[in-house]
């Protein structure tokens, strides 16, 4: 099919069946942005697409502003007769998580862009990479409302933020006075029929452990192998942390700790992809003298048994490396420190909420490990519904770093979003949903960061909720969005905009 206009973004747009899904006014935009790379920090093209829509096809646009970090704000005047309503802010983030399946799982000739999803049992699915429905569908819903003459509403402003996935940067750096709305509708939730009114706060830390290397002995004769743990389910490090899925970094370190220094030498270790993703894969390059590889497999099978219900597809691959001229390996002291530190850094649920049933209070994600000649760098992300627990978790990380003689750098993240069950916005949202669908929506707080909570910290008088259509497997290959839920959510959002006074 011939490409259409590039929408001002510099990328050719190739229409597919996605444009024919209903509501077409949403899916035509989603089909377009499937062609546009928009990973965190690489959002120029998607910004240009949003601006192109605002300037060329949107209606009743009043003004358009881009702030210093790249957030875009666009305002639209009210429908005739609704001019006296309070301004509402609609908000989505422009970036997405770019995660691709392990190379051995990819079909021949696979290209990461354009993203080419399939339909499967009512879902739009990207099998081998992330789909970008998080938060691309929210962006496209906002574009559809920008263009619409039929959606009835009061004054609106559309906030498209940057770099949500790697630290909520756009929301955190939003300046006071930039927004005019009193009510904020964040469109980044992932379950239709759920209204989120609170979330955990989060922060990150980076540990740098010095390592020493020694020349690999010439005798006995060593063979070089790469051990790789892969096909772990992974998932969102907040929303999925309670599921107890395997952390590939933890699994590999656990296997290696079963072997003494005289049984193997460690050359390299790395794993994980992003701070907010539970690691799906990790690899280690090792030098092995006189050792049966079956011993690794036996240990792996024991470890895999711990996760047989939650991560049944996890696998270990062992590949001999013939073209590697290895001279340096970790010394015995560095070998021990490296693997022991990876063992003691906490991962998973640290505490459950005592106030809300089945809600995680505090967690930590051992997210990434990278190794170079002189150090191993470890990144962790911790979350909590309580500020005091965030401080306590940071203290624990600092203590471990001190004991292991590692340098540690912390980055203050974002605070907790405390629920307001009595807000006017929530009452209208609940009433609208019940009137439309003859049932109450579910009201909840979640163990993940929301931009709405960060924005509310800068605009404390603003009332906010988070809503959205149904999605699954966000941040990992196999991400999918339920097609019918998008239509249902859009009809609900349009009615809600009409009802907000």
* Identified catalytic residue from 95, 163, 240, 361: 95
pLDDT in tens, 404-438: 999 999 987 788 888 888 999 999 999 999 999 99
120-125: average pLDDT? 98
Of 22-26, 75-79, 226-230, 352-356, the range with the lowest mean pLDDT is 352-356
Which residues touch 486 (CB under 8 Å, ≥6 apart)?
Answer: 21, 23, 26, 27, 137, 141, 469
Identified catalytic residue from 147, 164, 165, 188: 164
| pLDDT score, position 1 | 38
Angle 189-190-192 (CA atoms, 0-180°, nearest 5)? 95
> Domains (ranges, CATH) in the chain?
17-200+417-499 (3.40.630.10), 203-411 (3.30.70.360)
**What pLDDT is recorded for position 7?**
65
The number of C-alpha atoms within 13 Å of 294 and in the hemisphere containing its C-beta is 1
How much is the pLDDT for 4? 55
Which residues face 159 on adjacent strands? 73, 91
What is the model's pLDDT at position 2?
A: 38
User: Contact at 8 Å (CB) between 212 and 331?
Assistant: yes
Tell me the DSSP string of 141-201: HHHHHHH-SSS--SSEEEEEES--TTT-HHHHTPPTTS---SEEEE----STTEEEEEE-E
H-type helices in 367-482, by residue range? Answer: 387-403, 424-437, 451-458
* Annotation says 84 is catalytic: no
Residues 6 or more apart from 153 whose CB is under 8 A from it? Answer: 78, 79, 82, 85, 88, 145, 494, 497, 498
For the CA atoms of the chain, what is the radius of gyration? Answer: 25
Residue 262 has pLDDT above 80, yes or no: yes
Question: In this structure, how many other beta carbons lie within 10 angstroms of the beta carbon of residue 345?
Answer: 22
CB atoms within 10 A of CB 73: 21
Residue 31 annotated as catalytic: no
- Tens of pLDDT, residue by residue over 440-496, are 999 998 898 889 989 998 999 999 999 999 999 998 899 999 999 999 999 999 999
Cis peptide bond N-terminal to 220, omega within 30: yes
How far is Cα 441 from Cα 431, in angstroms, rounded to an integer?
Answer: 9
Specify the residue for token string 């049966």: 292
pLDDT of residue 60: 86
- Evaluated on CA atoms 436, 442, 448, 453, the torsion sign reads positive
Tell me the pLDDT of the chain averaged across its residues.
93
């Amino acid at each position: 099919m011939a490409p259409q206009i590039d929408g001002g973004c510099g990328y050719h747009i190739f229409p597919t069946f996605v444009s024919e899904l209903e509501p077409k006014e949403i899916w035509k935009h989603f089909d377009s942005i499937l062609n546009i790379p928009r990973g965190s920090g690489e959002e120029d093209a998607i910004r240009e697409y949003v601006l192109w829509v605002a300037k060329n096809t949107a209606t009743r646009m009043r003004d358009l502003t881009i702030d210093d970090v790249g957030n875009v704000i666009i305002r639209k005047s009210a429908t005739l007769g609704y001019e006296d309503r309070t301004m509402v802010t609609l908000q989505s983030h422009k970036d997405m998580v770019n995660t691709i399946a392990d190379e051995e799982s990819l079909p021949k000739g696979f290209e990461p862009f354009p993203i080419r999803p399939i339909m499967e049992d009512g879902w739009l699915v990207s099998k081998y990479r992330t789909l970008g429905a998080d938060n691309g569908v929210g962006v496209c819903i906002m574009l559809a409302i920008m263009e619409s003459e039929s959606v009835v509403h009061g004054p609106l402003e559309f906030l498209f933020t940057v770099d949500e996935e790697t630290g909520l940067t756009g929301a955190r750096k939003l300046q006071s006075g930039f927004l005019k709305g009193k009510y904020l509708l964040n469109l980044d939730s992932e379950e239709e029929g759920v209204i989120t009114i609170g979330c955990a706060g989060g922060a990150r830390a980076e540990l740098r452990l010095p390592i020493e290397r020694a020349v690999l002995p010439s005798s006995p004769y060593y063979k070089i192998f790469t051990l790789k743990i892969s096909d772990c389910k992974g998932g969102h490090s907040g929303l999925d942390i309670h599921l107890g899925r395997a952390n590939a970094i933890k699994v590999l370190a656990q296997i290696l700790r079963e072997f003494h220094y005289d049984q193997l030498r460690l050359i390299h270790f790395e794993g994980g992809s992003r701070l907010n993703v539970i690691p799906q894969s990790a690899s280690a390059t090792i030098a092995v003298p006189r050792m049966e590889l079956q011993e690794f497999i036996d240990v792996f099978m024991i470890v895999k048994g711990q996760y047989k219900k939650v991560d049944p597809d996890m696998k270990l691959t062992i590949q001999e490396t013939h073209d590697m001229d290895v001279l340096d390996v970790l010394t015995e002291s560095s070998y021990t420190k490296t693997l022991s530190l990876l063992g003691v850094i906490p991962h998973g649920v640290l505490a459950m909420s005592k106030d809300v049933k089945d809600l995680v209070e505090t967690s930590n994600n051992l997210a990434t490990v990278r190794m170079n000649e002189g150090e191993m760098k470890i990144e962790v992300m911790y979350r909590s519904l309580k500020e005091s627990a965030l401080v306590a978790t940071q203290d624990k990380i600092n203590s471990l770093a001190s004991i292991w003689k590692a340098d540690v750098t912390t980055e203050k993240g974002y605070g907790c979003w405390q629920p307001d069950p009595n807000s006017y916005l929530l009452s209208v949202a609940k009433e609208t949903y019940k009137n439309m669908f003859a049932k109450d929506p579910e009201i909840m707080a979640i163990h993940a960061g929301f931009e709405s909570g960060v924005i509310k910290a800068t605009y404390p008088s603003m009332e906010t909720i988070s809503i959205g259509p149904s999605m699954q497997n966000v941040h990992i290959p196999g991400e999918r969005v339920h097609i019918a839920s998008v239509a249902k959510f859009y009809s609900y959002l349009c009615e809600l905009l009409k009802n907000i006074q």
